[in-house]
Chain A
Amino acid sequence: MSRTSKSIVAAAMVLIMVGALLSGCSKSVTEPGASGTPEKVTLRFIGMEQAGMTVDEQKAVAKEFEDKHPGVTVETTFVSYDALHDKLATALAGGGTAFDVLVVDNTWMAEFAAAGWLMDVTDKITPEMKQQTVDQDVTWRIVTYNGRLYGMPWMLDQKYFYYNEDMLKQAGFDAPPKTWEEMVKMARGMKQKGIVEYPIIWSWAQKEASNVDFVTLLYGFGGQLESAPGVASFNDDGAKKALQFMVDTLKEGISNPASTVSVEEDVRNTFSAGKAAFAINWLYMYDLANDPKESKVAGKVKLAMMPVSEAVLAKGIPSATSNDSMGMAVSAGSKNKELAWEFLHYFTSPEVQKRYAAHQLPIWKEAFSDPELLKAQPVTTKMFMEQFPYGHVKVHVPYYMEYSKIMQLSMQYAFSGQKTPAQSLDEAVGQVNKLAQQYKQ
């Protein structure tokens, strides 16, 4: 081979490689949907594989939408709650084309909206739509940031108090506890009689799940998350009593020691295996814990109002729980925003929500007077309406993920005995308020 032909061969190879590299880059930018015929559109939906509607139910809704819209394909992706935020954040930060329709927790809405990642749908929500939902204020707060709306409320959920009726009867109790103190007494009785080793199971792992239980107990002991808008106060008297209660019941073996590494699914598994008399969980557990295929205690599972402390009950407040709801939003980077909105609209419509109400109740007021729904879900619909007025929403700030971690850790330090509950909460509130200052800069 002559010198020049060698150079030509080499130069050609360089060109080919560079060309391949560049075309590889540009290909990832164009949408696969755009290359086909114009009518063929692919919508990508990302949802959650935990609490609420099951994956199969969500897939079924996507299928219904496909049938109604020829040419439209809906691709679904499901991840666990604890993986969802990071998956959404990376997809949205990367341009937001990876998913068109997203399930977004109420606590992430501020963060994503502030970053400009969600489609502003304020003009699409009519006053009638607002009036038709269960509670105008609480329901729409899920998707509101700075007075603008960024999606549709989708799952109105709150923590419910579950108990195993059989175990209570065996121990000689004929009604569920009204206060946390009463629950502790009943638990002691059951433990002594050997009915159950650890009477209550919670989701207190170092995850978001622990904050939900903490908020429930914090309000149950008379505390408040904020003393004024933007000023954290989860180190007030009620909060400290709540965390002390958590630590004490762990020490005494009333709360299952595995609580501190459990999330909601672990709670469901433990309770369904008959290894707990009481449990705190979302609505979805009611159907699953009463399903003989999923549970050893099917038929014995009952719901009651979330207890409060004796002191709070004496003030005339009979219950306190966490209201932790999720919305659905359209990615600002979506190539098919209108169609995506239509899908989201269909997904959250009264008609669809009523049909899939076993694990997640509708956001629509009229559904709760619909005889068919009341007949299909007699227990949960009634419990939902009773418990809903006592729900407390978490804070909505763009730096929530860091806030959340600080709160989770404040509990963990108290559980492991590295700090006292009071010290741990004081430090955490100091950190959160510093975070708020930093964000304002």
Chain B
Amino acid sequence: MRDSRWQEYRFAYLLIIPSLVLLSGIILYPILDNFVISLYKYDLTKPWFRPFVALGNYQDLIHNPEFWASVGRAAYFTAASVSLEVILGLAIALFLNMQFPGRGILKTLVILPWAVPTVVSAIMWKWIFDANYGALNGLLLQLGVINQYQAWLTRPITAMNLIVAADVWHQTPFVVFIFLAALTTIPDALYEAARVDGAGALRSFQRITLPLLRPAFLIVFVVRTMEAFRVFDLIYVMTGGGPANATQVVTYYTYVSTFSYLHLGDGAAQSFLVSAFILVLSVAYIKLLGSQVEY
């Protein structure tokens, strides 16, 4: 009995070997190669000079204020965009979970921004925020909020917040649909029971909806944090890291170090550190939110 069970396992493992080989070829090997590169001082502008520096690149990064400033910007971007997306996403999901005519059409409309490729949405927002012909200027001028066109993306803090706004527009639908899917799995019986026991809407939201949405929160936080921390295409298109580096987040800095300055060793070390940050964040989320709720 035990022997045949083991046979089954072995057969199962043999079957997954092909995909394991493939995955190690396209994921594991590049990661290891990248790690090896990060142990060298490797500048393509000086191909003859490639000394082994062990963790030297990592040490340099720890003392590099520009790197930490860009990590800080990525953290700000992540905190701002993810929290706005969760709040807005939850509100829209709760609304769409109600029964009302036209709900189907509204659901379809809500997902539209998410269907737009990031680069396209970035170009669109760049036009909207444009200083000379942007729609935002047109709107605010007609509403009387401003009395002349503003060059929005020229101000460091404003530029960062406008990129957050563009990201919120683009990514909130994803959050809405995760929450909406989770909401539909909550049995109505729970709410009925709560009503019978005299609980109001707020109380059933606090005691039933929120706890049961926990797995959805986990997915949203982990996925969105990972993506937001690595934001690149929005920044590349909308500001190119400017003005005055105010939107140079850590992945953009890694990109510039690697592909513009051609410091491959340094860039590889940066990408490893960024992955480590994201890993720590994800583990923290799982620890905080991962416990199962039982009813």
Contacts and interface: CB of A to CB of B under 8 A. Distances in A.
A16 B21 CA distance: 11
B25 interface: yes
A416 B244 CA distance: 7
A21 B19 CA distance: 11
A399 B47 CA distance: 13
Interface string A404-417: 01000100110110
Contacts of A416: 155-156, 243-244, 246
A206 B154 contact: no
Nearest to B248: A206
Interface in B1-53: 7, 11, 14-15, 17-19, 21-22, 25, 44-47, 49
Interface in B220-272: 239-246, 255-256, 259-262
Interface stretch (A85-93, A121-129, A360-368): A85-93
B244 A412 contact: yes
B242 A205 contact: yes
A111 interface: yes
Contact of B241 (A86, A206, A257): A206
A377 interface: no
Interface string A88-129: 011001000000000000000001001110000000000000
A85 B44 contact: no
Contact of B153 (A261, A402, A418, A439): A261
**What does DSSP make chain A's interface, helix, strand, loop or mixed?**
helix
Nearest to A25: B25
Contact of B243 (A21, A111, A260, A266): A260
Interface residues of B, number: 40
A206 B243 contact: yes
A413 B156 CA distance: 10
Contacts of B19: 17
Interface stretch (A5-13, A148-156, A283-291): A5-13
A93 B17 contact: no
Contacts of A7: 14
A436 to B, nearest CB: 13
A257 B244 contact: no
Q: Is the interface of B mostly helix, strand, loop or mixed?
A: loop
B25 A21 contact: yes
B239 A261 contact: yes
A111 B101 CA distance: 64
B243 A401 contact: no
A10 B260 CA distance: 46
A260 B153 CA distance: 9
B108 interface: no
Contacts of A93: 44, 262
Interface in B150-203: 150-151, 153-156
A273 interface: yes
A173 to B, nearest CB: 24
A233 B49 CA distance: 28
Interface string B130-156: 111100000000000000101101111
A256 B148 CA distance: 13
A273 B49 CA distance: 51
A399 B44 CA distance: 10
Give the most central of B45, B130, B255: most A CB within 10 Å: B45
B18 A3 contact: no
Interface residues of A, number: 48
Contacts of A256: 131-132, 151
Contact of B21 (A17, A206, A413): A17
A335 interface: no
B239 A17 contact: no
Contact of B7 (A3, A17, A266): A3
Nearest to A253: B148
A432 B193 CA distance: 71
A94 B161 CA distance: 37
A129 to B, nearest CB: 29
B244 A13 contact: no
Contacts of A304: none
Interface string A266-289: 100110010100000000000000
A197 interface: yes
A18 interface: yes
Contacts of A90: 259
A413 B18 contact: no
B243 A82 contact: no
A275 B154 contact: no
B245 A21 contact: no
B151 A257 contact: yes
Given A17-B22, A416-B246, A441-B49, 16 more contacts: A6-B14, A10-B14, A10-B17, A17-B19, A86-B260, A89-B260, A90-B259, A111-B262, A116-B47, A205-B240, A256-B131, A257-B150, A257-B154, A261-B153, A273-B132, A401-B262
User: Which 10 A/B pairs are nearest by Cβ-Cβ distance?
Assistant: A206-B242, A10-B14, A258-B131, A412-B244, A17-B18, A257-B151, A86-B259, A258-B151, A416-B244, A398-B45
27 contacts: A6-B14, A7-B14, A10-B14, A11-B14, A13-B18, A86-B259, A93-B44, A111-B262, A116-B47, A205-B240, A206-B245, A207-B242, A256-B132, A258-B151, A260-B154, A260-B243, A261-B151, A261-B243, A266-B132, A273-B132, A398-B45, A401-B260, A402-B261, A409-B245, A416-B155, A418-B156, A439-B46
